[in-house]
Amino acid sequence: MNLGVKVSDKKPNTTIDGHVGNAAISASVTSLIDKAINTSSINNVNFECKNPSQNAQYMINEFLVAKSTFKFLKVFILGILAGAYIGFGCEISTLAGHDAANFLGFGPAKVLTGAVFSLGLMLVVIAGGELFTGNALIAGSVLAGRVVKKDLFKNWIIVYFANMIGSVMLALLVFYADTWQQNNCLVGAAALKIAVAKVNLTFVEAFARGILCNWLVCLAVWMAAASRNVIGKIFAIFFPIMAFIALGYEHCVANMFYIPKALLLATKLEVIAAAHLMPEQLANLNLIGFVNNLIPVTLGNIVGAAVFLALFYWTAYVRSSKELS
């Protein structure tokens, strides 16, 4: 019976369920992927890092010069954020290390506290922040004649006190969040003991530890600038920061968080009891003890950055290149 429908006597093409259809689709998908890869922005990513000479030239003649020209509001806001970011590093480090020695031993526990503390500088470098200890490197741009001393000291003063505001603000927040009560107040006890150890350092101890600290911290900043991608910056930051915390060195901005937080914790009898501290050990935990710690640590941090990094690399790479030219 003919119903008016023309039926082709040709063999129909193989459908998508057939081998020919699958092969065609696979070829098409492969072609699309190849085109996507060839035209994607990944080809524009430069995975090559600056070599030491290139990085020194960049840091001293460009990066640090730009920092010295930032407007007040920008520097102030980024300084507050940096202070808070370092405080977050202090918090996670205290939590991770408060009982780690019981399970790992003294050395590995110290390495663990340093490893997690590196969060703080990663936030500053990658998210954005102005940190006094890093900005101490601007001294290298002064040596190169790219920044005047007035702008150097102006930047240092603004960033220093902005860092303090951010650090103290976070100390207040975490205190009233009651997270120090974790593990039967042992977390709070660990934070208290950290600060007590800091305020009982001698001037020479604090100064020397400040130099050693910022030598490593600024190496982290310096090496992070050499990398052109985020993962490279993370690795550059991780190891020097882990080392400075594990080795027990002193960072003025971290202490702007540790000591004010401890001043608040010292009002809690349960924290003092958990820390097993005697009244004479707490004698220096006050505003005078805070200032007496900050002065030598800050001076040491400046020397660590300005002399052991900025001066040496300016002499080796920037000044010497000018003499050769």
Q: How far apart are CA 87 and CA 163, in angstroms?
A: 10
Question: What's the pLDDT band for 48 if we cut at 50, 70, 90?
Answer: confident
Relative orientation angle of helices 72-97 and 182-199, to the nearest 10 degrees: 120
Q: Phi and psi for 262 in degrees, rounded to 5?
A: -65, -35
Confidence of residue 141 (pLDDT cuts 50, 70, 90): very high
Q: What's residue 47's pLDDT? A: 59
Most distant pair of Cα atoms in the chain: their distance = 112
Q: Which tokens hold the place of 247?
A: 């080795």
Is 36's pLDDT higher than 90? no
Section 314-320 average pLDDT:
90
Note every long-range contact of 232-237, with CB atoms under 8 Å and residues 24 or more positions apart, other chains counting: 232/47, 232/49, 233/122, 233/125, 233/126, 234/122, 234/126, 237/118, 237/121, 237/122, 237/125
pLDDT surpasses 70 at 323 = no
The tokens of 287 are what?
A: 């505003």
- Predicted confidence (pLDDT) per residue in 210-227, tens digit: 999 999 999 999 999 999
The pLDDT score that the predictor gives to residue 116 is 98
H helix and E strand count, the chain: 18, 0
CB 121 within 8 A of CB 86: yes
Q: Give the closest residue to 131 by CA, choosing from 9, 3, 221, 38.
A: 221
Q: And the tokens for 264?
A: 């608040």
Is-contact 98 180, C-beta < 8 A?
no
Domains of the chain: 52-324 (1.20.1080.10)
Mean pLDDT of 175-194: 97
Provide mean pLDDT across the span 68-74. 96
134, pLDDT greater than 90? yes
* Res 20 pLDDT > 70: no
Q: Is the pLDDT of residue 112 over 90?
A: yes
Residue entry with tokens 């081998």: 19
> What does the pLDDT read at residue 69?
94
> What pLDDT is stored for residue 150 in this prediction?
97
Q: What is the DSSP letter of 1?
A: -
pLDDT top residue among 13 and 103: 103
| Composition of the chain by helix, strand, coil, percent to 5 | 80, 0, 20
Tokens of 113: 């506290």
Angle at 312 between CA 307 and CA 314, to 5 degrees: 110
Q: Does the pLDDT of residue 129 top 50, yes or no?
A: yes
Q: Which residue has the tokens 């102005």?
A: 130
Q: Determine what percent of the chain is predicted with pLDDT higher than 70.
A: 84
Does residue 5 have a pLDDT over 60?
A: no
**What is the percent of the chain with per-residue pLDDT over 90, rounded to a whole number?**
82
CA distances from 148 to 65, 133, 142, 153, 218 (A): 10, 19, 6, 9, 21
List, for residues 289-304, the tens digit of each pLDDT value. 999 999 999 999 999 9
Asked if residue 2 has pLDDT above 70, the reply is no
Q: CA gyration radius for the chain?
A: 28
Region 34-54: mean pLDDT is: 64
